[in-house]
Amino acid sequence: MPPERNRRRIPDATVSRLPVYLRILGEQADEGVDSISSERLAELAGVNAAKVRKDLSYLGSYGTRGVGYEVGYLVYQIRRELGLTHDWPVVIVGAGNLGQALAGYGGFGERGFPVAGVVDVDPAKVGTVLGGVRVRHIDELPQIVQTKRVNIGVVATPPHAAQDAAERLVAAGVTSILNFAPVVLAVPRAIEVRKVDLAVELQILSYHEQRKASLHAVPGAGAGAVSRPASA
């Protein structure tokens, strides 16, 4: 029996949607649904049905024509593909406002990402307890990463400390980083970095708001020229 084409390359766009499908499928399973069509899943995920089918087809042919997908089996396959068959402990650098909220937010551990540790440079914060975890000094980072087998680090420091935090994480052996600081981190190419930047998100919304506002300002179909028309 030939095993499976193991080195499937899944498009980034698909990878970023699989967690959404997974969450929805979990909810459906909880409600007792055990079979679902691409159409229905698409509706719940807010996307197009063809996209759902193509996304799922990267995992293999796990549907049944004329019927749909078996929810439990699909959950299993997506979890396997995302590497969610075991926990991934994370370490949080920065015990400020955000670090505290993250550590205190139960959703982390529940979803398979237990907080293995929180560290900070500030001795005043060391020893305090956040979400059941004692804050430790950043010098203990290598030890935490090694003993708890941590692969994923979270940067929750102020901007000026973020690059240092990232370097310490990488030096300690972390290979993926979730960065909340509004800073472009310079790390080795092999390190996967994802960025969550509130200011960026708000500014994107601002762009759309401003756009709506200036549409209101122009009359019918013309080039209203409310602000300055610049030539090309």
Partner DNA sequence: CATTGTGAAGCGTTTCACAGCC
Partner DNA sequence: GGCTGTGAAACGCTTCACAATG
Q: Give the binding site for DNA (CB under 7 A).
A: 11-14, 36-39, 47-51, 53-54, 56-57, 61-69, 232
Q: Name the binder of 65 from DNA, its own copies, none, CB < 5-8 A by kind.
A: DNA
Element holding 172 (H helix, E strand): helix 159-172
Closest separation in Å from C-beta 61 to DNA: 4
Which region, left, alpha or beta, applies to residue 108 given φ > 0 means left and ψ of -120 to 50 means alpha? alpha
Q: What letters, b where the CB count within 10 A reaches 16 and e where it falls short, cover 178-202?
A: bbbbebebebeeeeeeeeeeeeeee
Select 48 or 143, whichever has its Cβ closest to DNA.
Answer: 48
Q: E strands, 101-191, where?
A: 115-120, 129-130, 133-137, 152-155, 176-179
Select 44 or 49, whichever has its Cβ closest to its own copies.
Answer: 44
CA distances from 228 to 33, 208, 224 (A): 56, 18, 10
Q: Name the binder of 7 from DNA, its own copies, none, CB < 5-8 A by kind.
A: its own copies
Element holding 170 (H helix, E strand): helix 159-172
Residue type, 14: T
Closest separation in Å from C-beta 188 to its own copies: 5
Q: Name the binder of 129 from DNA, its own copies, none, CB < 5-8 A by kind.
A: none
Closest separation in Å from C-beta 152 to its own copies: 5
Select 67 or 198, whichever has its Cβ closest to DNA.
Answer: 67
Q: Name the binder of 223 from its own copies, DNA, none, CB < 5-8 A by kind.
A: its own copies
Closest separation in Å from C-beta 2 to DNA: 16
